[in-house]
Amino acid sequence: MAEAVKDAVSQVAEGVKNLAVAGEQKAEQKAPKPKKEKKQKGGDSDGRPLMLDPVPEYIDHRVQIFEKLKAKYDEEVAQKPREKITVTLEDGKMLEGESWVTSPADIARGIAKSLFERTVIARLDKGTAEETLWDLERPLEKSCKLELLPFEHPEGKRVFWHSSAHILGEASERRFGCDLCIGPPIEDGFYYEMALPEKAAVEQSDYKPLETIVNSIVKEKQPFQRLSLSKDDLLEMFKSNPYKQHIIKDKIADGTSTTVYRNGPLIDLCRGPHVPHTGRVKQFKVMKNSASYFLGDANNDSLQRIYGVSFPDKDSMHEHLKFLEEAARRDHRKIGKEQELFFFHEASPGSCFFLPHGQIIYNTLQAFLREEYWNRGYQEVGSPNMFNSSLWKVSGHWQHYAEDMFTFDVEKEKWALKPMNCPGHCLIFKHRERSYRELPIRMADFGILHRNEASGALTGLTRVRRFQQDDTHIFCTQDQITEEISGLFDFLRAVYGKFGFTFKLKLSTRPEGFLGEIETWNKAEAKLTEALDQFTAGGGGAWELNPGDGAFYGPKIDITISDALKREFQCATIQLDFQLPNQFELEYMTSEVATAKSKDDKTKEEQPKAETQKDEKKEGDALTKKIPPPQPGYARPVMIHRAIYGSFERFIAILTEHFAGRWPFWLSPRQVMVIPVMPSANDYVKEVQAELRKQRIHADIDISGNTMQKKIRTAQLSLYNYIMVVGAEEQEKKAVNWRNRDDQASQQRGEVVPLDEAIKKLVQLRDERRIENHI
Ligand SMILES: [Zn+2]
Ligand SMILES: [Zn+2]
C-alpha cells in the first residue's frame, strides 16, 4: 500500500470515530478495581511513619548519576560561546540578552518581580516551526520571540499541574517506596500512576500524609533542574523501575537521548517543561485514587493512580472546590435517581432503562425536533438495526471500526449492530434513481445505535453502549452547501436557544492525507466560510478556524455549547463528506439529462450503466477500491452528517446538570401537583387533575394521609413547576390556588385563579417552550 493511502487509512478509524462520537469527550479508561487481596500493612496511618526511613535505595543511585552528569553538562555550557541575542516581547519591545546566559526569568524579573511570580512558563516563537515551551530559568540559546504565560493560560495551567504531578510523585516515593510510572496533567488537575510494593493499594488514609509531605516539598522550593541523558544512562538511572525501563526501551531510539528533570530527591524521565521550583505550588490537594493498568492494557500490571489538583493561590483552590461541590450536586446520575428518571442494570451495562418520568423528557425532546423537522423540510425514515458485514465493508467500518461494533453470526455470516446510520441512509438514497429536482434530501432517523464501549469506560448517560441520535444526513449538490449550512445554523440557534445554551463554532479544514480532489475541498471550505460569515454578520457570534483538523473525507464545523456552570460540551457536529457517497457510488441525474429525458423517455433505457466489477468490490479495502465516476449526465451528491442534540442520552445528562433538575415547564415530567386542603376536597382534586390531563399536562395528585403542609413540602422538594392547593372555596369557584416553583413570593400563600385560566396559561407556557416558569 502506498504511504499516502496507508496514512489515509490509518486516519479512517479516527475520522469515523470522531464523527461517530459526535464530540463526546473521551472518558478516561477506568479499569475495574482490583480485589484487595491483601490489606496493606499499616494501611491506615496509626503507627505508620509518614515517610520511609531510610529512603529507598534507588533514590541515591539516581541522584549520584544525575550529579555526575549535571556537573559535566554545566561545564559544557560554560564553554559555549556567548553571543548577543535579541528577545522580542509580545508588545514588540526588543531586549538585548546573551546566549546561554539570559533566561526568560531574567527578562520577567527585569520587567517586574510580580510578573516573574505570576509567570508559569515561557513560550518561544509562537506560530513558527520553532514554537516551544521553555523553562523560565533555562538560558535562551538564540534570538527569539518570547511570551510569558501565567497559570490562567491553558498551557500555563498544564505545566503547573504537570509540575505538581512531579511533587506528588516525590511524595509518593518517599511515603511508599513505589515505582512511578506516568504523571500527566488532565482536564481538572493531574495524576500520578505507580506500583506500590507488594501490589498494595493506596488508601484514603494516605491522602493527608501525602499532603503533609507535599507541603514540606513546597516549603523547600526545590528547583526543577533539566538534564539531557543518553539512552544508556537512562537505562542505568532507572534500572530498578520496570515501567520506566519499558518506556525508555519503547520510546527512545538507540543512540539518542532525552531529558530528565530533578526536583529534590526525585529524578523523573520527562520532556518538561516545569515551573521554576516547587514553591510555586501553594495549594495542593489529593482528590481521589483508583486502580488502572500499565499502558491501559488489562494484560499488564495493575497500578494505582493518585489524582490531585493544585493552584497558585488559596482563592483559586476555594473556587475550584466550590465548583466541584456544585457539579456534584447537579450530577445527572444523582438527580436521575432522585427524580426516578432512569437507571442502569448489570444485565445490560451501558444501556439505559428510562423510567416513565425520564421517558417523558426523552419524548418531549424528540417531539420538539419532529416539529422542527416538519417546518424545515426534513423527512424521517426508519432503518434496520443490524446489517450484514458486506455493508460495513463498503462503508469502511468493517476495516477500521470493527472493534467498536457489536458483531455476531447469522446463518454463518458476519453481522453487526449499527454504530451509526449513515451507511443505511446511503442505501435509502440508492434505493431508486434520484433526480436533481429532489435535492436536497434531508433524511432524519432516530435509529437505535450500539457501540462496543469497554465496560470500565461506561459512565452514566454520558458514555453508553446503546443510544439514539437526532441524526440527519443531507444529500445535496455542491451548489446547495452554503444554503444547507446556513439552514443548520438557524436550526442550532432555534434548538439551543430553547435551553438557554450559548454556542461557539469552529471550522476544521483539510488535513494532510485528505482524500478527493483539492478543488472540491477548496470550494466546500469557501462555502462553509461564507455560511459562517453570514451567521456572524447576522449577530450569531464569532467563529474560529481550526486549520488542518478536518476529517480526511471532508471539512467540518464543531459546535460547542456552554452550560449553566460554564462547562463546555460538544454535542452538535456538521460534517461534510465527499467520501461515503463515493463508496456507495451514489448519483443523481443532473438537469441536462433530466431535460433530455423528459423529451425522449427511451434514452433512459439506452443509457449505458457504468459496469462495476462486482467481485473486486467485495474484496479489499473500501478506500483503495477503484470506484467508477458517475455515469454521463449524473453527478455525485455531497453528504452532510449532522446532529444537534448528538445523542439523546448524553444530551439529557447535560440538560439535567444544566437545569440542576429544575426542568422548564415544557420539558418537565412533574408539571403540576394538586393537593387538597382537607380530605373533603379529594373529589375536586381528581377533577382538576382530569381537566389538566385533558390538555396533556403532567398532573399528579396527593390524596395520601399526610398533612397538607407535608404534601406541599414534598411537592416542593420534587421540584413540581406548579403546586395547586384546593379546598371548598376553590371548588365552589372552580378555581385553584397555585404556587410557582420559581417565584418565592407565591410559595407562601399562593394565588387564586380560575381553573380555566390557569390551564390556558399553562398550555401557552408549554407550547411556547419558555425557559422561565413565568405565567
Ligand atoms: Zn515533567
Ligand atoms: Zn452520519
* Ligand 1: centre distance to CA 223 (Å): 13
Q: Concatenated DSSP letters for 220-271?
A: TTPBPEEEEEEHHHHHHHTTT-HHHHHHHHHHS-TT-EEEEEEETTEEEE--
* Ligand 2: centre distance to CA 577 (Å): 9
pTM (2 d.p.):
0.79
Mean pLDDT of the chain: 88
Distance CA 691, CA 717 (A): 24
Q: Residue 226 CA: which ligand is closest? A: 1
Whether residue 775 is contained in a domain is answered as no
Q: Where would I find the beta strands (DSSP E) of 611-711? A: 634-635, 638-647, 672-676, 699-701
Q: Residue 162 CA: which ligand is closest? A: 1
Distance CA 638, CA 8 (A): 20
530 shares a domain with 456: yes
Distance CA 190, CA 183 (A): 7
Q: Residue 470 CA: which ligand is closest? A: 2
* Ligand 1: centre distance to CA 501 (Å): 38
* Ligand 2: centre distance to CA 627 (Å): 21
pLDDT at 270: 92
Please report, for residues 258, 298, 343, 431, 465, the alpha-carbon distance to residue 458 in angstroms, rounded to integers and kept in the order given: 37, 16, 13, 37, 8
* Ligand 2: centre distance to CA 421 (Å): 6
Whether residue 572 is contained in a domain is answered as yes
For 138, list phi and psi in degrees, rounded to 5: -85, 125
Confidence of residue 747 (pLDDT cuts 50, 70, 90): confident
Whether residue 582 is contained in a domain is answered as yes
* Ligand 1: centre distance to CA 267 (Å): 10
Residue 581 host element (H or E): helix 580-583
**Per-residue pLDDT at 711 exceeds 80:** yes
For 605, list phi and psi in degrees, rounded to 5: -65, -30
Cβ contact 354:342 at 8 Å: yes
Q: Where would I find the beta strands (DSSP E) of 399-465? A: 407-410, 413-417, 434-435, 441-445, 448-450
Distance CA 575, CA 642 (A): 6
354 shares a domain with 474: yes
Whether residue 126 is contained in a domain is answered as yes
* Ligand 1: centre distance to CA 159 (Å): 8
* Ligand 2: centre distance to CA 542 (Å): 26
What does the pLDDT look like over 197-221, one tens digit per residue? 999 999 999 999 999 999 999 999 9
Q: Where would I find the beta strands (DSSP E) of 125-168? A: 132-134, 144-150
135 shares a domain with 161: no
* Ligand 1: centre distance to CA 148 (Å): 19
What's the mean pLDDT in 510-520? 85
Q: Torsion angle, CA of 566/571/572/578, rounded to 10 degrees?
A: 130
**Per-residue pLDDT at 56 exceeds 70:** yes
What does the pLDDT look like over 627-680, one tens digit per residue? 888 989 999 999 999 999 999 999 999 999 999 999 999 999 999 999 999 999
SS3 content of the chain, % helix, strand, coil (to 5): 40, 25, 35
Q: Residue 261 CA: which ligand is closest? A: 1
* Ligand 2: centre distance to CA 643 (Å): 9
> CA nearest 401: which of 114, 10, 701?
10
User: Which DSSP state fits 703?
Assistant: -
Count other C-beta atoms under 10 Å from residue 556's C-beta.
Answer: 26
Confidence of residue 47 (pLDDT cuts 50, 70, 90): low
What does the pLDDT look like over 556-613, one tens digit per residue? 999 999 888 888 998 888 999 988 999 999 999 998 755 555 444 444 444 444 444 4
* Ligand 1: centre distance to CA 268 (Å): 7
Active site residues: 422, 451, 469, 471, 473, 556, 641
Total number of domains in the chain: 4
711 shares a domain with 565: no
Distance from the first to the final alpha carbon of the chain: 66
pLDDT at 33: 43
Confidence of residue 298 (pLDDT cuts 50, 70, 90): confident
* Ligand 1: centre distance to CA 208 (Å): 24
* Residues of the chain above pLDDT 70, percent: 90
Boundary (domain end) residue, out of 150, 167, 194: 150
What does the pLDDT look like over 457-504, one tens digit per residue? 899 999 999 999 999 999 999 999 999 999 999 999 999 999 999 889
Q: Residue 444 CA: which ligand is closest? A: 2
pLDDT at 664: 97
487 shares a domain with 541: yes
Q: How many residues does the chain have?
A: 775
Distance CA 436, CA 631 (A): 14
475 shares a domain with 354: yes
Task: Mention every residue, 6+ apart, whose C-beta is less than 8 A from residue 622.
Answer: 393, 394, 395, 396, 399, 583
Whether residue 187 is contained in a domain is answered as yes
* Ligand 1: centre distance to CA 229 (Å): 15
365 shares a domain with 317: no
296 shares a domain with 176: yes
* Ligand 2: centre distance to CA 473 (Å): 6
3-state secondary structure of 727: coil
CATH number for the domain harbouring residue 134: 3.10.20.30
210 shares a domain with 89: no
Residue linked to cell 399536562:
697
Whether residue 442 is contained in a domain is answered as yes
> Angle of helix 481-499 relative to helix 518-535, nearest 10 degrees?
40
Task: Mention every residue, 6+ apart, whose C-beta is less than 8 A from residue 288.
Answer: 307
* Ligand 2: centre distance to CA 586 (Å): 15
Distance CA 567, CA 569 (A): 7
Boundary (domain end) residue, out of 127, 150, 173: 150
Please report, for residues 366, 524, 537, 671, 745, the alpha-carbon distance to residue 667 in angstroms, rounded to integers and kept in the order given: 11, 38, 32, 9, 24
* Ligand 1: centre distance to CA 145 (Å): 24
CATH number for the domain harbouring residue 457: 3.30.930.10
Q: Residue 21 CA: which ligand is closest? A: 2
Whether residue 53 is contained in a domain is answered as no
What's the mean pLDDT in 318-337? 95
CATH number for the domain harbouring residue 262: 3.30.980.10
* Ligand 2: centre distance to CA 562 (Å): 24
Confidence of residue 456 (pLDDT cuts 50, 70, 90): confident
520 shares a domain with 580: yes
Q: Residue 269 CA: which ligand is closest? A: 1
3-state secondary structure of 553: coil
Cβ contact 587:630 at 8 Å: yes
586 shares a domain with 454: yes
6 grid coordinates: 496507508
* Ligand 1: centre distance to CA 158 (Å): 10
What does the pLDDT look like over 137-193, one tens digit per residue? 999 999 999 999 999 999 999 999 999 999 999 999 999 999 999 999 999 999 999
* Ligand 2: centre distance to CA 427 (Å): 13
Q: Residue 167 CA: which ligand is closest? A: 1
Q: Concatenated DSSP letters for 507-551?
A: EE-PPTT--S-HHHHHHHHHHHHHHHHHHIIIII--EEEETT-SB
Q: Residue 262 CA: which ligand is closest? A: 1
Q: Residue 273 CA: which ligand is closest? A: 1
* Ligand 2: centre distance to CA 430 (Å): 16
Enumerate helices (H) and strands (E) in the chain, giving the number of each: 26, 35
Boundary (domain end) residue, out of 150, 170, 190: 150
Which strands sit side by side in the sheet containing 225-230, from one edge to the other?
Answer: 225-230, 257-263, 266-269
Cβ contact 590:633 at 8 Å: yes
Distance CA 204, CA 306 (A): 10
Distance CA 756, CA 775 (A): 14
CATH number for the domain harbouring residue 740: 3.40.50.800
Q: Which domain holds residue 711?
A: 662-768
**Burial annotation 738-759 (CB, 10 A radius, 16+ → b, else e):** bbbbeeeebeeebeebebeebb
Whether residue 71 is contained in a domain is answered as no
160 shares a domain with 146: no
* Residues of the chain above pLDDT 90, percent: 74
Residue 574 host element (H or E): strand 568-577
**Per-residue pLDDT at 2 exceeds 60:** no
